[in-house]
Chain A
Amino acid sequence: MGRFKNNKKSRVIGKPIAKKNQEDVSHVTGDKIPKSFVFSRMKLAGPVKQLQMDLRKLMLPYTALSLKEKKRNTLRDFLNVSGPMGVTHFLMLSKTASSLSLRVARTPQGPTLTFKIHQYSLASDIAQSQLRPRCPQDLFKSPPLIVLSGFGSQELHLKLATIMFQNIFPAIDINTVKLSTCQRLVLLNYNKDTKLIDFRHYSIRLQPVGVSRRIRKFVQNHQVPDLRNLQDVSDFVTKAGYGSESEGDEEAATVTLSSDLGRVNKGATKSAVKLQEIGPRMTMQLVKVEEGLCTGGIIFSEYDVDGKKEKLKKKQDEEEEEDSEEEGEEGSEEDGEDMDEDFED
């Protein structure tokens, strides 16, 4: 048994993500396509397990949807597999009795961002809360767009988070991109005051503007409309339906398409952008940034500010006398001044 264990130890069972070399580089932009693993190195309880699955679906198509992890798989095993498969990002969920956290890491050498998940809702919860959950067939066949909002401050850890999330999905070339592939959107909204990041996942839907609801439905559904109450066929076209649902207030949300998109949205016509949430939904907080892949020096820490400064100190004046270090520790209580000192050095 023991021997058996050892033999299997370094194997991570998972589907190969894509054909190796052909798909590594996007033929459109010529950039390397980022790929990801979503996994956890512990046994997860029901809802968290589901959250992991939702995250995997969100990361589609460049992720291992049915990645199987075992308790004996170490991080090193995943790392070994990630190299040949071209996996660039790890998303790791971990659950303790007190908290749930998500670590987003760049392979092979970091950095690692640790987010504490304060609240989350599963995709199924979101679907349940909606009257008509939407899931077209090819929704998960193209990568989502990413929208980052509110991150543009000078703080370095936030900038790092921005870069990390910008690179987690394939880049878009606006000259060649087909709008029909833009089906989903991931929104990360940073709230300065609460320091919380809202993580949302929407599906994008385009609707022609200025067409009555009946006709739109008729074109979309291909169903014979109910004409019993009408005197004439022309009534069906001319008679306005019930008020055009909130079309007026969303003038900002209209776009002019350059090409046809689907059957309904023709090129050079106005279309309204409608977003519907598909989940998962997370409210998280960046608590730690590490240099390496789950190891290495701590660049940023939300709770333990002292640790970061001590580290800085150590780096700067390793050979200097210990007195100054103590001073630094004492001084670190007053945040602003000490920071300045550090930079002056």
Chain B
Amino acid sequence: MSTGEEGHMAMADRGSRKRRVGVKKGTKAARNKKQKSKPSTSDRFKVTMKNQKLFQKRARDYNSDDDEEEDDESKKQPEVTIREKIFSDANMGPNYEEIGEEDNDENSDGEDHGEIESGITKFATDGCNAFKIAFKAIMKKTKGDDTLGPVLSAHKHLIGEKLAEDEAEKKAKGQARKAKHLIAEKGHVKPGSYLDSHEKILIGVATKGVVKLFNAVNKAQHAQKGLNPSRSKDAKVLKKRRKEAFLSELGKTKTDTKPFDARRNKLVFCLDLAPIESHEKNHLMSESKLVFCLELASIEKGSPSAHKSEDEAPVWAPLRDNYMLANPKLKDWDKKQETSEGDDFAGLSGDESYED
């Protein structure tokens, strides 16, 4: 009994699998019944000898599962035959009949028996027939001399080829990636952990700049120590002191370090460490007058002290009234600006440059 049912289960499973592949249609009822039948059989497998009697008794009390199963199968029969038809039309093609015949022959020999599974076995054997044919075809093949036999993956030359191919592919990919990386990293330099001489020089230059600034700040702020700029009284004193400091700086500009000292003491503090000789400076001044004008204008706006600087006949040449006339280089500065490449300053200085 149990063996027969096992066989039946297997068949049913195969059938259901086949149905999924081949045919889309399937009535709900049939599916339900199959699902019902499954747990019952599986229960039966679990039954130990001890409890068997008890179950049998219970089975007798209720409508027994066997009856149900029989009902199922009787209902299944026609359905499966229909399915078989469709199957034969759709999938198997012209060969089908031959196969079918073979099946029938073999069926009679096989372990499946009884009228219960006739429909299913037919269907199931169809399914397993394809496999059978394939299997036979394989079995008909003569085995080569290779000790490895037909196991393709074990063939050494095949493996070798595949590996070589992979290697080449990998190499090509790696090279492409490397090239890309090289392009991305172009110019990227990772500095060493030591300070080379060039860096030391640069740090020295920067330090000089900072020291200059800090000293200037110290000088400027030393004068206003103890005064609170928010108080009006102190603010006046501050103004006065700043003005004095500013003018004194302007006075100093008579000496060699003319334009750059003046520049440094303006509100706009620009550190310029350029080593420039005095004659160069004069030339530079004449050429970059626009810049100077701009900066001077900003001073006059920004600091109140600068307003009064004109009254006291400034020592620094550009602040004098006759500076533009006296200096032959500056006489026709506006003409020169057009001819030379003065356009570059236009964007920066804007209108302010024409104020003077």
List residues of A whose CB falls within 8 A of some B CB.
Answer: 29-31, 45-48, 97, 99-100, 106, 109-111, 117-122, 125-126, 128-131, 145-154, 156-157, 159-160, 162-164, 166-167, 171-177, 179, 182, 185, 187, 189, 198, 200, 202, 204, 250, 252-259, 273, 275, 277, 281, 289, 291, 297, 299-300, 312, 316, 343, 345
Quick one: given A121-B190, A154-B283, A185-B210, are A166 and B217 in contact (CB under 8 Å)? Answer: no
Residues A147 and B344 in contact, CB atoms below 8 Å apart: no
Residues B344 and A253 in contact, CB atoms below 8 Å apart: no
Residues B210 and A149 in contact, CB atoms below 8 Å apart: no
Residues A179 and B214 in contact, CB atoms below 8 Å apart: yes
Residues of B within 8 A of A30 (CB): 301-302
Residue of A nearest to B276 (CB): A152
Q: List 23 A-B contacts (CB under 8 A).
A: A29-B267, A31-B267, A99-B186, A119-B188, A120-B188, A125-B191, A130-B193, A145-B271, A148-B273, A149-B272, A150-B273, A150-B275, A163-B345, A172-B269, A185-B206, A187-B202, A198-B202, A252-B211, A254-B211, A256-B215, A258-B222, A259-B221, A275-B207
What is the bound-complex CA distance between A162 and B273, given in angstroms?
12
Shortest 5 CB-CB distances between A and B: which pairs? A152-B274, A45-B184, A147-B209, A255-B214, A171-B268
Residues B341 and A156 in contact, CB atoms below 8 Å apart: yes
Residues of A within 8 A of B238 (CB): 175
Q: B274 CB to closest chain A CB, in angstroms?
A: 2
Residues of A within 8 A of B128 (CB): none
B224 close to A (CB within 8 Å): yes
Residues of A within 8 A of B225 (CB): 258
What is the bound-complex CA distance between A173 and B229, given in angstroms?
14
Residues of A within 8 A of B198 (CB): 198
Residues of B within 8 A of A185 (CB): 206, 209-210
B208 close to A (CB within 8 Å): yes
Residues 13-31 (chain B) with a chain A CB within 8 angstroms: none
Residues A152 and B272 in contact, CB atoms below 8 Å apart: yes
Residues of B within 8 A of A129 (CB): 190-193
Residue from the list B187, B208, B272, B348 in contact with A106, Cβ < 8 A: B348
Residues of B within 8 A of A291 (CB): 343-344, 347
Residues B217 and A179 in contact, CB atoms below 8 Å apart: yes
Binding stretch for chain A, among B32-40, B96-104, B140-148, B284-292: B284-292
Quick one: given A151-B272, A156-B344, are A118 and B187 in contact (CB under 8 Å)? Answer: yes
Residue from the list B187, B224, B274, B341 in contact with A312, Cβ < 8 A: B341
What is the bound-complex CA distance between A166 and B345, given in angstroms?
14
What is the bound-complex CA distance between A139 and B199, given in angstroms?
22
Residues A257 and B214 in contact, CB atoms below 8 Å apart: yes
Residues B347 and A109 in contact, CB atoms below 8 Å apart: yes
Residues A148 and B271 in contact, CB atoms below 8 Å apart: yes
Q: B93 CB to closest chain A CB, in angstroms?
A: 48
Residues A175 and B183 in contact, CB atoms below 8 Å apart: no
Residues A147 and B302 in contact, CB atoms below 8 Å apart: no
Residues of A within 8 A of B224 (CB): 175
Q: A5 CB to closest chain B CB, in angstroms?
A: 29
B51 close to A (CB within 8 Å): no
What is the bound-complex CA distance between A254 and B205, given in angstroms?
14
Residues of A within 8 A of B275 (CB): 150, 152
Q: A286 CB to closest chain B CB, in angstroms?
A: 12
